[in-house]
Chain A
């Protein structure tokens, strides 16, 4: 009994358990063939989901109704701008990264202005800004695919003993963000606002400044994701952010962060991102048709959320 209580107190454990289970099924089915390589592939691709997932987690944690739907278009814009500016040249790397971060900053500020000044609910605000951002990306890039600078391509695809370098960097980054969430004034403020915005305000927290920082953080991380992703996949494309809309929200929720806000968890995002990739791999390996695969993905996500989310009674 006590084991279960300890486990359910740590919601993120479930995402790692799910990850291990789907990996095991795949390994058994293939007779262990290539099971280590699957982990390598999962690490490479989960990295990008984790980057945007962390940003989304902070946004969702600030309370009900807060969500950033502009992540996919920010990824597309940041990738397109950076690749076009750099023009495959190593010398332009710093400028490309700066431009990419500039895009993120601009999107974050714009999103917050829509929410704060025009008082538009975050879901609508970030959804409508995503149209503007994607249109900008289309007008600017016209779907051009320019190769990333060799150094960026090398950095994003390099491996040490089967572990992608980028994954190590992002694991370290996740640890840092975990500290930020639990040990800094900013992180504690985000949690406090998510639990009760009025109480947080009465306690002297500058609520609007914290929300502003959170939306900017999410957009910045989406921009970094776009920059790295274009390096990893050999150039930016207009639709490369598409799958990160649902994925960013799903990994946050499966990872044990409360959709209602006020309760967040960083390690769970890694477990959930790995789980999502391995789940698709397992269903592909088993030869499930696309229809079955989508149904299974939906059902398993619901199941995981139910198990992981049904822990604490509401206070």
Chain B
């Protein structure tokens, strides 16, 4: 439903089907407040935002939709940024937040000034804001459920994300729920890979010599390729590693698939979720009825869709989908 070929068509269809909506928001200004840009996921997220919003501006759906990123990933800095946006009189602010609660004051000020606030990925808890969250726990459970269909049980190595971050706790909790449900699995080691390939490689290389045979590796995305390299460097058989949609992971998977029929799944959040947030903000400005809390589906790649996903992913990037207004309406309608 989300591939690029239908993008243009759906925007066109959108322009015709909600003609009234175009008129209503054509003078509106939507700003993106982003806390961090230093990795490939965030780069893709900003790229998607730019692509979809510049088309929307060209089509007269909104007046402008600039993106702003703070330099230091600091809460205080982002709060000041949001306050500036309030003063500049934006109609809606889309936020990827540095903290779920520390920005609530600034978000409340924006709401009080009559500004629509939509948070996504890094969501804010302030009740007046809209939240586009991902069910990270379900993602963790899904990984173990998949392993259960492929293996008769065995030892698992868990690679976690950045310690202290909400997302890391959620995915890990989901994985542990999954392991509790499938008691044939046992987590024998857990390291923090910080969602980065090189950090994961280092951490796995360190713990691997002390581990018994590992049947599967559960990950959080960005760390699968590093784990594969660490296993290869240690001369250990390659276990079943769940991938996280990064180009290097998909490319490695493709190489293994061609060489020896290696089979796995890959699951993560599409960076294009920023464009879903954009459309949600536009719909709210348009007076549409949007629930305060929304859940986005994660992007899953299977053995059959690997080649297609790899071909559509930029080298060094993340498998991505961008949302059209129609897609956004489908998510809002809970479909």
User: How far in angstroms is the closest Cβ of chain A from B332?
Assistant: 31
The CA of A89 and the CA of B247, in the complex, are separated in Å by 19
A-B contacts, CB under 8 A, total: 112
Docked pose: A229 CA to B197 CA in angstroms: 12
A37 to B42, CA, bound (A): 36
Do A281 and B40 touch (CB < 8 A)?
no
| Residues from chain B with Cβ under 8 Å of A302 in the complex | none
Residues on A with C-beta less than 8 A from B225 are 234
**Choice from B38, B160, B208 contacting A138 with Cβ under 8 Å:** B38
Specify the chain B residue showing the minimal Cβ separation from A287. Answer: B190
Q: Fill in one digit per residue for A229-246: 1 if any B CB lies within 8 Å of its CB, else 0.
A: 100011101111001000
Q: Does A239 contact B38, Cβ atoms closer than 8 Å?
A: yes
Residues of A within 8 A of B164 (CB): 290-291
B201 in contact (CB, < 8 A): yes
Q: How many residues in B have their beta carbons less than 8 Å from beta carbons of A?
A: 41
Q: A34-B209, A281-B207, A290-B192 are in contact. Are A144 and B315 (CB under 8 A)?
A: yes
- Taking the closest CB of chain B, its distance from the CB of A53, in whole angstroms, is 16
Quote the shortest CB–CB distance from A228 to chain B (angstroms): 12
Which of A38-46, A96-104, A202-210 faces chain B?
A38-46
Say whether B209 contacts A38, CB under 8 Å. yes
Contacts of B317 in A (CB 8 A): 143-144
> Given the known A-B contacts A138-B43, A284-B203, are A145 and B209 also in contact in the complex, defined by CB atoms under 8 Å?
no
- Return the CB mask of B230-268 against A: 1 if under 8 Å, else 0: 000110000000000011100000000000000000000
Number of interface residues of A (CB under 8 A): 42
A274-B314 Cα distance, complex, nearest whole Å: 37
Q: Do residues A33 and B210 form an inter-chain contact, with CB atoms below 8 A? A: yes
A34 close to B210 (CB less than 8 A):
yes
Chain B: which residue is nearest A229 at the CB level? B198
Chain B residues with CB under 8 Å of A243's CB are: 199
- B228 vs chain A, min Cβ distance (A): 9
Tell me how far the C-beta of A133 lies from the nearest C-beta in chain B, rounded to whole angstroms: 12
* B229–A277 touching, CB < 8 Å: no
* B39 touches A (CB below 8 Å): yes
CB nearest neighbor in B for A159: B233
Can you list 26 residue pairs at the A/B interface with Cβ under 8 Å? A34-B208, A41-B208, A41-B233, A44-B233, A45-B202, A45-B206, A143-B40, A143-B42, A143-B317, A145-B315, A145-B316, A233-B226, A237-B197, A238-B38, A238-B43, A239-B39, A243-B199, A277-B202, A280-B203, A280-B206, A284-B206, A285-B189, A285-B210, A287-B189, A290-B163, A291-B163
B residues apposed to A, CB below 8 Å: 37-40, 42-44, 71, 160, 163-164, 189-192, 196-199, 201-203, 205-211, 225-226, 229, 233-234, 246-248, 314-317
Closest 4 CB pairs of A and B: A34-B209, A290-B163, A145-B316, A144-B316
